[in-house]
Amino acid sequence: MKLPSGRNFILFISFDFDAESAEILQGKDPIAISRGRFGPKVGIWKVLNVLDQYGLKTTFFTPGWVIEKYPDVVKSIAEKGHEIALHGYLHERLDELKRQDEEKIFDISERAFMNILSYKPYGFRAPYWRWSENTLDILLSRNYLYDSSLMDSEDPYVLSKKGKRLVVLPIDWRLDDWPYLEAYRSISNKELLDMWIEEIEYAYRRRGYVSITMHPQCIGRGARIMILMNLISKALKLRAWIPRGVDIAKYILYKGSK
Ligand SMILES: [Zn+2]
């Protein structure tokens, strides 16, 4: 992959800023909801602090409902130069919806973006990383620049259909904090960091791309924030480019094609 000069690989660190949206939709109990609420109350501020320390701007995939519920938090993220991208309205599973209901989720979420942030999102990530059979058409018809949900490549690529183009910033379940630290609590902080460092070392060796996904309510809890700090510190030593999703998508579309 062609890389910006002086950089050895692309590291897409992104955050799914779900807050308690998924728990509200599922009608979970107040404690489960409080774990989600930890994101906007505590986790996000720790994450933003770390990004500030390293001078990084990145992407927060955010449900429309979270933008409406926490407008001041979302505005604070955007004012720092981070990108807010779309992540459903109430963290729905799109594969369970009829096309008209899925379109409605995009409508109300884009309205929340316009009302609170005054822009339409460039990027999209499907909640639970599940597309419906209509999601691609919906993204193309609404002129999204990129999606970050598919798992069929290790490097970004351009998907073309009916004369329209969508940049794919691929992801990987293994490079997500949620399954290891929240869903299954199957691994220590140290083990997770070691695995992720191995992945960035591999991306460095092959001069490629790697995407790591975190959730402020997860990585922002206690000493887990050190995983983020140590990861960024290591990546910068290896001269990674760590931009926002929109920057990678534009780069791939206009400069980075093979
Ligand atoms: Zn999510």
For 1-34, write each residue's pLDDT tens digit.
Answer: 889 999 999 999 999 999 999 999 999 999 999 9
Instruction: Give distance in angstroms: CA of 127 to centre of ligand 1.
Output: 5
Instruction: Give distance in angstroms: CA of 87 to centre of ligand 1.
Output: 7
Instruction: Give distance in angstroms: CA of 44 to centre of ligand 1.
Output: 14
Q: Are 219 and 225 in contact (CB under 8 A)?
A: yes
For 94-153, write each residue's pLDDT tens digit.
Answer: 999 999 999 999 999 999 999 999 999 999 999 999 999 999 999 999 999 999 999 999
Handedness of CA 173, 174, 180, 184 (dihedral sign): positive
How confident is the prediction for the chain on average, in pLDDT? Answer: 96
Could you tell me the CATH superfamily of domain 9-254? Answer: Glycoside hydrolase/deacetylase (3.20.20.370)
Instruction: Give distance in angstroms: CA of 35 to centre of ligand 1.
Output: 14
Tell me the backbone φ, ψ of residue 29, rounded to 5 degrees: -75, 165
SS3 70: coil
Q: Count Cβ atoms below 10 Å from residue 143 Cβ, excluding itself.
A: 11
For 36-81, write each residue's pLDDT tens digit.
Answer: 999 999 999 999 999 999 999 999 999 999 999 999 999 999 999 9
Percentage of the chain lying above the pLDDT 90 cut: 93
Instruction: Give distance in angstroms: CA of 232 to centre of ligand 1.
Output: 22
**pLDDT at 256 (0 to 100):** 67
How far is 135 from 189, CA to CA, in rounded Å?
A: 35
Instruction: Give distance in angstroms: CA of 128 to centre of ligand 1.
Output: 6
For 199-251, write each residue's pLDDT tens digit.
Answer: 999 999 999 999 999 999 999 999 999 999 999 999 999 999 999 999 999 99
Q: Are 60 and 83 in contact (CB under 8 A)?
A: yes
Q: Are 169 and 245 in contact (CB under 8 A)?
A: yes
pTM of the model: 0.96
